[in-house]
Chain A
Amino acid sequence: MIVRGKHRWWHFFTHPGAVLVAPAFILYTAFFVYPAAMAFYVSLTRWSGFSPVRTFIGLDNFRELYHESLYWRAVSNNFIFMFGAGAAIFFFALLFAAALSNRNFPGRRFFKTMLFAPYVVSIVAIAVLWTFVYDPNWGLLNSMLSFFARFLVRLGLLSPDRAQVGVLWLGSWGMAMPSLSAVMVWAGIGFYVILLMAGIDRIPDDLYEAARIDGANEKQSFFHITLPLLRDVLVIAISIHIIGALKQFGLIWAMTRGTNYTHTMETYMYDVAFEPRTMSFRMGYGTAMTVVLFFMVILLTFTFNIIMRKAEVEY
């Protein structure tokens, strides 16, 4: 018998199905809801993280954050990764996806595998690898540049005193940000290529044939057919990228530890809250950063989805 009546929230607990979702519900509450709720409270306190003393200080942490330039540098770095690396990722991902979707593309499977390979490697391993590449003294990049420079010297195109190459790829903010962005693009692009290729594969072939007869060349087909029809896939892909860029930690931490002002919100927060090196141990202050981050992620993805919201494509 179906009992008709108003649904109250506690009916959830009396419903027979409650037993089935209970384990997941309990674990989710214990390991996600409770810590997340606690974070909001901790952000309003002064606390070392291990001391029993936790002093409630209201919005002081947030006030301090607002005035701290290093924090703003970290925030702006996140956004540089979001837009800079993002632009490169989506430019190249679209290019590769469009090229590799063509069944006649030579070496299609090889390139797909090569592009996707970095995605299955741990980000720390990638960081170590690229630290070697970027090493100013014996790194691969400088060695190659030196080799090229010596070649130019031999040809008489470069004076020998300028042939020493010692670029500090991670040595300053200006060099490190593009260098780190390049690694992000290299490591992340495969995922987006696969995602976009799946989107392109979904577009019926006869649309392209109709476009060819209508007079479109390859480029026009891409801009008038492929791109508009990839809209929903792109919305998802860009949302994933936005969230990823706002959570940038592993790569930065493993490659620079946030020095030379390459901090992101996450590495800076870790420095402030946990890092023994800095002896800061300001759990409340660090947590305040995560609370800000939480709202940033929600706000950005929400805004982006509203901007891009349009009726889903149906064939």
Chain B
Amino acid sequence: MAEVSIENVTKIYPGGVLAVKDASLRVEDQEFLVLVGPSGCGKSTTLRMVAGLEEITEGIIRIGDRVVNDVPPKDRDIAMVFQNYALYPHMTVYKNMAFGLKLRGYPKAEIDTRVAEAAKILGITNLLDRKPKALSGGQRQRVAVGRAIVRKPAAFLFDEPLSNLDAKLRVEMRAELAKLHHRLQTTTIYVTHDQVEAMTLGDRIVVMNDGLIQQVAPPLVLYDYPANVFVAGFIGTPPMNFLKGSLVREGQKAYFKADGIKIKLAPDLAGRVEAHMGKEVKFGVRPENVMVKGYTSLSEDENVAASQVTVVEPLGDEQIVYLQAGGQDFIAKVDSHVRLEVGDTTQMVFDVGRVHVFDKDTGVNISLREKAAVA
């Protein structure tokens, strides 16, 4: 059990490619931290630097109290689960799991006990004599996890461990990993590009883009208080709507105004964005906060935009409705019993209690109440 800390770490690959820029993170003991971001955002590189598989160009990495910058992977007391499982194809499941212990000179009896214990936890006891090729994807993934847990390391590192599984199995394994972490309470760093995995597994989530950490926060904080346009757009399905327009003050009241859309800002929000009054901004609202007039408890006299339905995607319990108002596209997630047809013009209501205002140029969320939520 240990904390892992990354202090001002930069990674530049030979040839000058900047993979990670000045990243600082602190993973608490027993925490499940998820690194998430699009391909090439530097999340895997960050994990591999913690593992010792990539050298650090600048900065310090600590595991426990020890600086591990120059410590080889085997001496870092970590275990890693790879995307392609990386099981040794010529070894049985037992040998795959025992390999690390054997190299470390554990006595045979101890190895047997640990492998048996891990196999029992993961439900693979009956597979111990099989070779990896005789296993299904889900079983291989369990073996890969088993190989990590037999070592009882200070920290687990997962590099997109579920992305090679089919959708159904991925959901199952996700729940199992959560259960496993609850049981073992080992510090875990988990890399994924899947925001659902990130939201469901992480105690905290680190959102990365272009080698930079965008925000570090617990899942719901990330969802409700995104630090910038990138985080707001990355977390949530379908993604947050961004409307272009400007902030205007009319008498005592402040509005977001765009062609065909006029939304009154709540007084506290108006106060926070006062400095941007009269300027162009990006106005963010999540699809579930855009409602059909007549189907909501909100006051329906204001914040209504006449919108044309362009596409309707029924999902069973709800439907994703693509709309257009004043030449701008946006999406609403509404109950599936609301009858909407393509081509209809409908009145859409915006829930002003849950909107965000972003600086048009920097993308920073200027409507946040607590700056503490932002890393």
Contact = CB atoms under 8 A, between A and B. Distances in A.
Nearest to B98: A214
B90 A228 contact: yes
A216 B88 contact: no
Given A206-B84, A210-B82, A213-B79, A315 B89 contact: yes
Nearest to B82: A206
Nearest to B99: A214
Interface in B44-59: 51-53
Contacts of B78: 213
B254 interface: no
Contacts of B52: 212-213
B84 A204 contact: yes
Main secondary structure of the interface of B (DSSP, over half): loop
A224 interface: yes
A210 B89 contact: no
B138 interface: no
B84 A212 contact: no
A117 interface: no
Given A206-B84, A225-B88, A213 B99 contact: no
A214 B86 CA distance: 12
A107 interface: no
Interface string A190-222: 000000000000001011011111111000100
Main secondary structure of the interface of A (DSSP, over half): helix
Contacts of A313: 89-90
A215 B87 CA distance: 15
Residue of A206, A209, A212, A215 with most partner-chain B CB within 10 A:
A215
Interface residues of B, number: 24
A106 B176 CA distance: 46
Interface in A222-268: 224-225, 228-229, 231
Given A204-B86, A225-B88, A229-B90, A314 B133 contact: yes
Contacts of B53: 209, 212-213
B104 interface: yes
Interface string B63-95: 000000000111000111011101111100000
Contact of B103 (A204, A215, A229, A314): A215
Given A209-B53, A314-B133, A215 B104 contact: yes
Interface of B: 51-53, 72-74, 78-80, 82-84, 86-90, 99-100, 103-104, 131, 133, 147
9 contacts: A204-B86, A206-B86, A210-B87, A210-B88, A214-B100, A214-B103, A313-B89, A313-B90, A314-B89
Given A211-B88, A211-B99, A216-B103, 9 more contacts: A206-B82, A206-B83, A210-B87, A212-B53, A213-B52, A213-B79, A214-B103, A216-B99, A311-B131
